[in-house]
């Protein structure tokens, strides 16, 4: 387990990929997790610590196929054992929930954050940032999550790590192209790894074609395009995308000699969220309860946004501003957020009401932050949303073929022309 993630020797640090390791309050506790069931239950509570767990959930997590006849009693015994090991970190009443410090390091979460940081750095051509961040993500993602254990929730975590690995390889390839020189070898190697893992993923071929061309192997670069075209035709009956066709055309004409860099102006889908009536809620529950609500809310936001390939750009009080490459990812993220909040409300009696606004538009990336009319428009849309609503612009909904209710033109502050907006149903 690496020791450079935090300077505090009492920091909570957990490694779930590869050999399980855990330090809580500066004390090594993984050596006490001697049985398979101990380790699986501990890992489940770490991964799902955003929400309290019911005993029936823990039974399914431990024995997905054939639980023992005394499963409930067995879970209770395991929890008592974990409580002795974890101390105050594990709550057993009125429900089961693991509590970690706010600055806790969990390797799976650190990998997701690192790949987001790498992707943002690639977008702004900050190679000195993207390089180490992508390597951190790749190092973790390539280790198996809970080796030897099987369950649907474990498979879900492994799929997420597989996606992080692919995105990290893309960042390393792009960074190698940006740095040039000897790093072109790294770009080529990462591109080939991408192709081996995902033979139909165009990004691997794009990076490989650029790396080979920069290294003077133009014929091999064009052969890579031919291989992509052959595979696409054979597997799905389509040809390469217009972007790949344009790249091939550039290469046949003797360029580009350098990797195409991300433009300063790009299209992104922006999402703003906000807890409704937060002042009244704070007055009702008090400062301490409000702090716990905010911590839970922030962890939920980070988890769901990360799962849908979004990047948190800013936080303002109890709100979040994030950006997505694809509008479909943003829409799915907004729907998942509202569904998770509603499910928590049903299961545990309370969850804050959140309004969400979405808009896809061109924006300028300056010093790692997006700015421009599109960002302001998305914020104005979110401000019009009601509790538990997802409000989305008509153009964004059309891009993903989403059906809207209450579709109407709206006059937004600071926007000269009316903008068509509508409510996206998430409870169907």
| DSSP assignments along 260-274, one per residue | PPPPSEEEEEEEEEE
Query: So what's the pLDDT on residue 126?
Result: 85
CB 7 within 8 A of CB 100: no
Query: So what's the pLDDT on residue 254?
Result: 66
Rounded CA-CA distance 81/77 in Å is 6
Pair 51, 76 in one domain: yes
Here the tokens at position 211 are 């790396």
Domain boundary among 145, 177, 209: 177
Identify the segments of the chain with pLDDT beneath 70. 1-10, 254-265, 365-368, 428
Pair 65, 172 in one domain: yes
Q: What is the Rg, in whole angstroms, of the alpha carbon atoms belonging to the chain?
A: 24
Pair 283, 409 in one domain: yes
Pair 309, 418 in one domain: yes
Pair 165, 293 in one domain: no
Query: So what's the pLDDT on residue 194?
Result: 94
Domain boundary among 177, 193, 223: 177
Domain boundary among 148, 177, 206: 177
CATH number for 208:
1.25.40.10
Rounded CA-CA distance 427/171 in Å is 36
Pair 206, 148 in one domain: no
Domain range for 401 is 265-424
Rounded CA-CA distance 147/137 in Å is 18
Give the helix ranges, DSSP H, for 273-409.
278-285, 287-307, 327-348, 373-384, 394-399
Query: So what's the pLDDT on residue 3?
Result: 40
Query: So what's the pLDDT on residue 5?
Result: 40
Domain count, the chain: 3
Pair 78, 107 in one domain: yes
CATH number for 148:
1.10.10.10
CATH number for 416:
3.30.70.1230
Pair 156, 234 in one domain: no
Pair 167, 206 in one domain: no
Pair 142, 290 in one domain: no
The DSSP element (H or E) to which 14 belongs, if any, is strand 13-15
| DSSP assignments along 89-135, one per residue | GEE-SSSBEE---TT-EEHHHHHHHHHHHHHHHHHTT-HHHHHHHHH
Here the tokens at position 166 are 């692919």
Length of the chain: 428
Pair 330, 382 in one domain: yes
Pair 409, 336 in one domain: yes
CB atoms within 10 A of CB 401: 7
Residue 246 burial (C-beta neighbours within 10 Å; 0-12, 13-18, 19+): exposed
């Amino acid at each position: 387990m690496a020791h450079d993630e935090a300077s505090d020797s009492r920091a909570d640090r957990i490694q779930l990929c590869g050999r399980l390791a855990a330090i809580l309050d500066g004390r090594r506790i993984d050596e006490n997790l001697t049985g398979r069931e101990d380790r699986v239950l501990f890992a489940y509570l770490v991964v799902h610590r955003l929400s309290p767990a019911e005993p029936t959930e823990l039974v399914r997590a431990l024995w997905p196929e054939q639980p023992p006849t005394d499963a409930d009693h067995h879970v209770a015994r395991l929890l008592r054992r974990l409580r002795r090991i974890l101390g105050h970190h594990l709550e057993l009443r009125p429900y089961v929930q693991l509590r970690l410090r706010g600055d806790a390091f969990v390797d799976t979460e650190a990998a997701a954050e690192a790949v987001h940081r790498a992707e943002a750095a690639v977008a702004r051509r900050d190679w000195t940032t993207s390089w180490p961040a992508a390597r951190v993500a790749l190092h973790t993602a390539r280790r198996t999550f809970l080796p030897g254990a099987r369950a649907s929730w474990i498979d879900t975590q492994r799929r997420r790590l597989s996606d992080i690995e692919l995105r990290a390889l893309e960042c390393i390839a792009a960074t190698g192209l940006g740095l040039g020189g000897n790093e072109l070898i790294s770009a080529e190697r990462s591109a080939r790894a991408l192709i081996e893992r995902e033979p139909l993923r165009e990004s691997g071929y794009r990076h490989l074609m650029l790396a080979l061309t920069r290294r003077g192997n133009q014929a091999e670069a064009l052969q890579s395009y031919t291989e992509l075209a052959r595979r696409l035709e054979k597997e799905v009956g389509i040809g390469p995308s217009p972007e790949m066709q344009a790249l091939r055309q550039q290469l046949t004409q003797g360029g580009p000699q350098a990797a195409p860099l991300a433009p300063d102006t790009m299209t992104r889908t922006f999402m703003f969220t906000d807890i409704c009536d937060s002042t009244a809620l704070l007055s009702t529950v008090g400062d301490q309860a409000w702090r716990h609500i905010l911590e839970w809310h922030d962890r939920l936001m980070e988890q769901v946004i990360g799962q849908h390939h979004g990047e948190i750009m800013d936080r303002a009080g109890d709100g979040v501003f994030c950006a997505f490459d694809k509008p479909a990812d943003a829409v799915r993220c907004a729907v998942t957020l509202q569904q998770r909040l509603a499910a928590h409300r049903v299961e545990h009696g309370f969850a804050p009401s959140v309004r969400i606004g979405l808009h896809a538009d061109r924006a300028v990336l300056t010093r790692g932050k997006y700015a421009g009319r599109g960002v302001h428009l998305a914020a104005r849309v979110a401000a019009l949303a009601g509790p538990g609503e997802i409000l989305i612009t008509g153009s964004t909904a059309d891009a993903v073929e989403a059906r809207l209710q209450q579709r109407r033109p709206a006059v937004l502050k600071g926007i000269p022309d009316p903008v068509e907006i509508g409510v996206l149903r998430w409870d169907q």
